[in-house]
Amino acid sequence: MTKTLMIQGTSSGAGKTTLVTALCRIFADKGYRAAPFKSQNMSSYSYRGRGFEISRAQAIQAIAARTEISPHMNPIMLKPLGDYKSEVFVMGKRYKKMHADEYYKRFVLTKGLDIATKSLDSLRSRYDLVVLEGAGSPAEINMQKYDIANMKMAKHCSSPVILVSDIDRGGTFASLVGTLELLEDRRLVKGYVINKFRGDPKILRPGFSFLKRKTGRPVLGTVPLLKFDIPEEDSLHANPKQVSFTAKYIKLLDREIEHLSRVVKSSLDMKAIGDLLK
């Protein structure tokens, strides 16, 4: 039976993409046939395969999982054009240009949701483990009806969810508690990861105890603020790095993924995370 694990964040830039990349490599090293999945991704930077184009983040995650890159890993990609318009890609192919209003009201809950769930099911039929990545925050209550990137995907496959938060920005404990409070399907959330921490994690222990008492869920790890040469998503960066997926670059990328996965593995309670998959 295929296992699933979903990483959601308290905001954009919390570290979802990085954490999924690391987990794909960690589980691949443990012998799982693993695959990444993000139902909907908005990005100006893509990976072009043979006859398809998807977000480069999911392509990098597939490389981390040591598996073939597939359009099922990112069935819907939005390339922003400005003025609330995007070029929509479906299963790696250009579909049409849409205004945000048209996309959400005429596409997302009909064709979009159907495409996303079928792609997820396709991956689940071929892999031992699918690591899902959410988008933005699952607690945007004005958009929850149209959100096919977070809880609708987790509910579809009854996936345990780990919430990740960027402590370098501040407000982590409030954002974790607040996010959980605003979720209708909070039962799927099983724990938290604190990301981008500077200093001695021991000073966070009182906060961890508070979170456990307040929400009944543990902190599963504290990941330090890292320097690594893996392209980030462009949603929060004015000049994200552009890359070409040559054999030479993929070799260099693989080294960075190895470094990232070692640090993340040593920072997380992998036994507790493994127990979520049982």
Q: What is the pLDDT at residue 240?
A: 62
Residue 18's alpha-carbon distances to 40, 166, 220, in angstroms, are 17, 12, 16
| Spacing of C-alpha 272 from chain mean position | 19
Nearest-CA neighbor of 111 among 123, 98, 124?
A: 98
Residue at 23: amino acid letter: L
Q: What is the pLDDT at residue 1?
A: 78
Q: What is the pLDDT at residue 233?
A: 65
Tokens of 115: 């495409």
pTM: 0.95
Three-state secondary structure of 150-176: CHHHHHHCCCCEEEEEEHHHCCHHHHH
> For residue 257, is pLDDT > 80?
yes
> For residue 31, is pLDDT > 80?
yes
Q: What is the pLDDT at residue 234?
A: 52
Tokens of 11: 């905001």
Q: Under CATH, what is the fold of the domain 3-275?
A: Rossmann fold (3.40.50)
Spans of all domains in the chain: 3-275
Distance between the two ends of the chain, CA-based, in angstroms? 10
Confidence of residue 238 (pLDDT cuts 50, 70, 90): very low
Residue at 18: amino acid letter: T
- d(Cα 60, Cα 69) in Å, to the nearest integer? 9
Mean pLDDT throughout 67-85?
A: 96
Residue at 131: amino acid letter: V
Mean pLDDT throughout 25-49?
A: 95
- d(Cα 160, Cα 6) in Å, to the nearest integer? 6
Secondary structure element (H or E) that encloses residue 255, with its range? helix 247-267
Confidence of residue 244 (pLDDT cuts 50, 70, 90): confident
CB distance 187 to 23 below 8 Å = no
Mean pLDDT throughout 3-17?
A: 95
Q: What is the pLDDT at residue 235?
A: 52
Give the pLDDT confidence of 134-182 residue by residue, as tens digits: 999 999 999 999 999 999 999 999 999 999 999 998 899 999 999 999 9
Q: What is the pLDDT at residue 239?
A: 57
